[in-house]
Amino acid sequence: MAVKIKWPKPGTPIMDWQTLSHREIGFKNEEYFKKYVPVFFNDGPGADLPTLNMEVKARDINTTSALSIGTMTRKNIINQFYDQSVIKEKLQIIAIHWHNQVTWQGGELFDCTRSHIQEILRQDYEFIRNALAKGFDDVYLVSKSILHIEQPKDLKNSYKFRISEHNLNKLRVICASGKMFDRFFE
């Protein structure tokens, strides 16, 4: 799938004279995508740009914290296989808009649509789902490859699906090698 995004030039101000919080930068990122990617922007559950199967993220170039993908209730995780989950919707194409809190620094697409990548993500999700179904009741669980979950302090019955900085780099390599993998194994 060929997706073209018109990223702002590196150094383009996010907003005049003001340093924004991460949440405010996320809103500016949404405004940018709403302006330059002329498709429906979903503010509810599921992918941000459902017609493109794309999740949109703003990320500080200096961060080492995990990338949040989405939140689900414990009950929904247990009752929904990966293929029925909003997490699968969000893990097709991930568009990351890099910034330094003052200016945009560029953009990057993670194309996770290839079957071998989806299988890795499916196995991770199912590992988490099965652990929760068997009674796992801690605040943090790491899967076998890319995903992990964290329980937010303010949402005791929900978990955030996240990707650590290390695993984001691993996903970058897996996505970049996807075309070569397809030639050999599909």
Q: What is the pLDDT of residues 139-161, one digit of tens each?
A: 999 998 999 999 998 888 999 99
Q: What is the pLDDT of residue 19?
A: 45
CA distances from 40 to 27, 43, 125 (A): 16, 10, 27
Range with the lowest mean pLDDT among 39-48, 69-78, 88-97, 140-149? 39-48
Q: What is the pLDDT of residue 43?
A: 77
Taking 60 as the threshold, does the pLDDT of residue 182 lie above it? Answer: yes
Mean pLDDT over each residue of the chain, to the nearest integer: 83
Taking 60 as the threshold, does the pLDDT of residue 16 lie above it? Answer: no
* Mean pLDDT on 88-92: 96
Taking 80 as the threshold, does the pLDDT of residue 137 lie above it? Answer: yes
Q: Measuring CA to CA, which residue among 128, 126, 130 is closest to residue 140?
A: 128
Taking 50 as the threshold, does the pLDDT of residue 79 lie above it? Answer: yes
pLDDT range class, residue 99, cuts 50, 70, 90? confident
Tally Cβ neighbours within 10 Å of residue 150: 17
Taking 50 as the threshold, does the pLDDT of residue 66 lie above it? Answer: yes
pLDDT, tens digit, 9 for 90 and up, residues 32-62: 666 666 667 787 888 888 888 888 888 888 8
pLDDT range class, residue 103, cuts 50, 70, 90? confident
Q: What is the pLDDT of residue 139?
A: 92
* Mean pLDDT on 103-132: 92
Block residue for tokens 């390599």: 173
Alpha helices in 5-95 (DSSP H): 22-36, 74-79, 86-90
For residues 138 and 183, the model is more confident at 138
Domain range summary for the chain, segments of one domain joined by +: 22-185
